[in-house]
Structure 1
């Protein structure tokens, strides 16, 4: 009976059926009358290195971005740090694990030419209007992350993501206000399979997601098609595609109707959005 009720009434927790419940996803309409697509700068704009740093985020904001895709892990002393890898070496040249060092120690390491590893609180306070797509990368970050979001009351500025749906659901249970969320790998796969049958809405409701963030193709299988986008929209779900760096691909996907793009080529994506009268995006965030 529950599945029939969801099918009949639509998706109670979706961005489409409850506009205002998840302001993160409530974008103003563009010239065409459709909601303006979202542009996410992937780990900031770091063409010469320094990903996930205050410098890379500042460059993206200066380009007009109001949405960033970032990653977080916990330090040894339980501080939420903005960093992608489990190990430090790739971007800092320093051996060891993020979780083995204190926040103070991590802040003193250099990430390319972008400065030290920032805390999530640093980023939230530096740009009060900025909205963050945050991938929670480790289990030890679940509680500190939820505590920080609750303490700063930034639920409307966060879209929670994780490749692990189990971890994502743990965070959602700890948050004390509605917070937008995108599906992990398992739920993404199920929604891809079920979308054509019309069962995406009840599954998304049960999983607690309002957006799907997917690659255009995965292991040779095309994920993002016109039919898939239409089915997701019918279920009240937004579709964000990563990581798209070519202008031709950006235009093709936006013409297909996707709701957002994640890109390393922030300057290319900004130019694409400018041509579609959807830029800048940072100026609308303090409304």
Structure 2
């Protein structure tokens, strides 16, 4: 007889105080373009999204912006590395020729009921982010992640338990190995694992991974899922959250299952 699946965990942090599965608007819902803009996030909130995903970089003078790439070139009419440019210059460029690059502090104020999943893209962005969260007293509304395990660990050391964090790359690898009953280091302190469906040719978000994460009290959030059938399959596995560019599609899939809350 197959053992029953462990119940989906509810980590002890206000960020997770919502029925699962969680629906995340990836970069505000990047499918129509104008990703990580005030307009993108406003559209997601109007559709009913409570969880928004974004990325942060710091300008040369320490201003924290919501932006994915290290450089402006791909999605704006400007160019150059954000870390080498002052805010006075970055604020003049336009994403897709339309909206400006937003300061993350302004987004926190504009959407006071939203919860933010934040990918810290560079070491230089960490201190400005923690400062913004402290000034806004927004610790309850944020989960921080990064591919760099040391960056996540540093955030935990500086902020303590008031900051929710996800596993870094090494922790996810350790969790994957443990789900195969192989030795692996997962570490402590994280409250969720945020993972792709696959990494290269290796499956990550499968039934064994989700079960093992749940046994350890970790939620599993999967990115970036835009196909409705893949969404349904992941929900059937018991994942606790999905990040998508196609925010209307995910809302429809969850509504079909009575899970759009």
TM-score of the aligned structures, taking structure 2 as reference length: 0.91
Shift of 1:16: 3.8
Question: Over the residues paired in the alignment, what is the CA RMSD in angstroms?
Answer: 1.9
Please give the secondary structure, in 2, of the residue aligned with 1:93: coil
For residues 114 and 270 of structure 1, do their structure 2 counterparts lie closer, same or farther at Cα, with a shift above 3 Å needed?
farther
Q: Which runs of 5+ in 2 are unaligned?
A: 1-7
Shift of 1:177: 4.8
**For residue 73 of structure 2, what is the aligned residue in structure 1?**
89
Distance 2:30 2:201 in 1: 29
1:227 and 2:208 matched:
yes
TM-score of the aligned structures, taking structure 1 as reference length: 0.83
1:156 and 2:137 matched:
no
Distance 1:198 1:152 in 2: 43
Shift of 1:175: 1.4
1:245 and 2:226 matched:
yes
For residues 48 and 27 of structure 1, do their structure 2 counterparts lie closer, same or farther at Cα, with a shift above 3 Å needed?
closer
More helix by share: 1
Kept in 2, the 8 Å contact 1:73–1:80? The answer is: yes
Q: Across the two proteins, how many residue pairs are aligned to each other?
A: 254
**For residue 27 of structure 2, what is the aligned residue in structure 1?**
43
Distance 2:223 2:98 in 1: 23
Kept in 2, the 8 Å contact 1:196–1:231? The answer is: no
1:210 and 2:191 matched:
yes
Kept in 1, the 8 Å contact 2:77–2:93? The answer is: no
1:26 and 2:17 matched:
yes
Shift of 1:40: 0.6
Q: Which runs of 5+ in 1 are unaligned?
A: 1-14, 29-35, 281-287
- Which structure 2 residues correspond to residues 47-126 of structure 1 after superposition, within 5 A? 47-126=31-110
Please give the secondary structure, in 2, of the residue aligned with 1:191: helix
**For residue 264 of structure 1, what is the aligned residue in structure 2?**
245
Kept in 2, the 8 Å contact 1:71–1:84? The answer is: yes
